[in-house]
Structure 1
Amino acid sequence: MSKQAFIILMGGPLTPTDRLATQLAGARVIAADGGMRHASALGLKPELWVGDFDSTPDALIAEWPDVRREPYPAAKSETDGEIAVATALERGAKRLILAGALGGERSDHAFMHLLYAAKLAEDGIEMLLTSGEEEAYPLLPGSSVIALPKGSLFSILGLDTLTGLSIEGARYPLRDFHLPFGSSRTVSNVAEGTVRFTLSSGRALILARPHDFSGA
């Protein structure tokens, strides 16, 4: 993987899998506050650890004495994750993997990560959000391809009305489809392998469950 790829370790749940290890291989790493707890299980050593450290126990700090920490005040205008992303962009990131960005107790944080990823994708940054069990990808006008295991579940959630939506390589393909905002029409599809998406206008999120074959 290119050195322009960065992993941001975030505080949500993260399950190590072979697929996740492949996705993370070769990328540089920045930890955001309590997301550092994932580093050992993933065999990663961040080059920087940022945040207000309000969710970082002393034992975790003691475990990583040689990782540079950059503290921020608790009263700030950005989340620790956004600070970590901004730091990665300053260091030349062109691809970001937000590991631990989905699920957990703070649904506000998880939803904000999804919206922020869509905004970053509009700025030309390649994005992947993952919990190990679930993955999210922004879907913008144009074409994109995602390699998913045959029989695994995925859904498309529109952030506004979608036009010209086509899906190939899925059990329920679509061609030049108009998806109204708020429609559930594209929830619970099944990948037949690599899935190709084409979109004329609108913004959406692809949520994939690469280890979930309940729809197979």
Structure 2
Amino acid sequence: MRRTFVESQDGLILLGAGPVGRANFSAARALASRVIAADGGARRALALGVMPEAVIGDLDSLDSATRAALPEGSVHRIAEQDSTDFDKTLRHIAAPFVIGLGFWGARMDHGLAALNVLARHPDRRCVLMGGREVCFLCPPELDLALRPGTRVSLFPLGPVEGESEGLEWPIGGLKFAPDGRVGTSNRAPTGRVRLRFTAPRMLVMLPAGALEAAVRALAPGAVPPAALGG
């Protein structure tokens, strides 16, 4: 039976070892106050002035100085080498949504591996944030409230079809595939977008400023009231 190391009624911030901009971290903190780390992401958390509640991974990137600074009982080692630390951590936490930083943007191979994890765990509502973008796996139905004119890019991780309302270029009747049709650089003229897909295989990519809109769409009712309208 899979053990859950962190269980939360509110959203969680999950830090990886990659670069994390302070502006992005502040935007995430406005929506979720609890911070955990995947392996070497603990060092990133301390550099940002935050003590992670838990550190999960195979611990091959956790240096001795960082480990010594962590509270007793907060480090959880998962020895298997068949998955990334992001995968290990996402599997062993439970929350209405997760905002992942430090997993996407520094290295292409790490970024692609993180997207693979999203595809393998469609039950987890996780938004990856890096640089100027946020990215998440679209559930079968999604209702987004964006600023008018927001860019909405779609990229399939497998064969999938869908329908849309509110996109400048509707997607109904199109057959998407990683080696075929993709849907990058679409737009939401009025800001309101509804998406429906035949399977959880479509990535949605939005500007970083749409983080709250993405979280509210993925986990309705889970965003703290103080963050609404931000």
TM-score between the two structures when normalised by the length of structure 1: 0.74
Secondary structure of 1:165 counterpart: strand
Query: How far apart are residue 163 of structure 1 and its match?
Result: 2.5
Contact kept? 2:156, 2:182, Cα under 8 Å? no
In 2: Cα distance, 1:15 partner to 1:193 partner: 30
> What's the C-alpha RMSD, in Å, of the aligned pairs?
2.9
Query: How far apart are residue 127 of structure 1 and its match?
Result: 2.1
For residues 100-142 of structure 1, give each alpha carbon's deviation from its aligned partner in whole angstroms, at most 9, with x where no partner exists.
221222x333222212213322x3x32211125321111243x
From the two aligned structures, give the one with the greater strand fraction.
Answer: 1
Aligned to 1:158: 156
Contact kept? 1:31, 1:49, Cα under 8 Å? yes
* Count of residues paired in the alignment: 198
Aligned to 1:78: 83
Contact kept? 1:166, 1:197, Cα under 8 Å? yes
The amino acid that maps onto 1:136 is C
Tell me: CA distance 1:114–1:147, structure 2 relative to 1, closer, same or farther (3 Å).
Answer: farther
Aligned to 1:120: 121
In 1: Cα distance, 2:162 partner to 2:197 partner: 5
For residues 166-190 of structure 1, give each alpha carbon's deviation from its aligned partner in whole angstroms, at most 9, with x where no partner exists.
141x4x2415241332345521123
Secondary structure of 2:45 counterpart: helix
In structure 1, runs of 5+ residues without a counterpart are: none
Matched, 1:87 2:92: yes
Contact kept? 2:150, 2:191, Cα under 8 Å? no
The amino acid that maps onto 1:178 is L
In 1: Cα distance, 2:145 partner to 2:131 partner: 15
Matched, 1:96 2:98: yes
Secondary structure of 2:60 counterpart: coil
Contact kept? 1:120, 1:127, Cα under 8 Å? no
Name segments (4+ residues, structure 1) moved above 6 Å: none
Q: Residue 35 of structure 1: which of 38, 41, 66 is its match? A: 41
For residues 54-110 of structure 1, give each alpha carbon's deviation from its aligned partner in whole angstroms, at most 9, with x where no partner exists.
323444334x3326222344x623322222112213xxx3322222221222x3332
Tell me: CA distance 1:194–1:13, structure 2 relative to 1, closer, same or farther (3 Å).
Answer: farther
Aligned to 2:213: none
In structure 2, runs of 5+ residues without a counterpart are: 1-7, 211-230
Contact kept? 1:34, 1:55, Cα under 8 Å? yes
Secondary structure of 1:77 counterpart: coil
Aligned to 1:10: 16
The amino acid that maps onto 1:38 is R
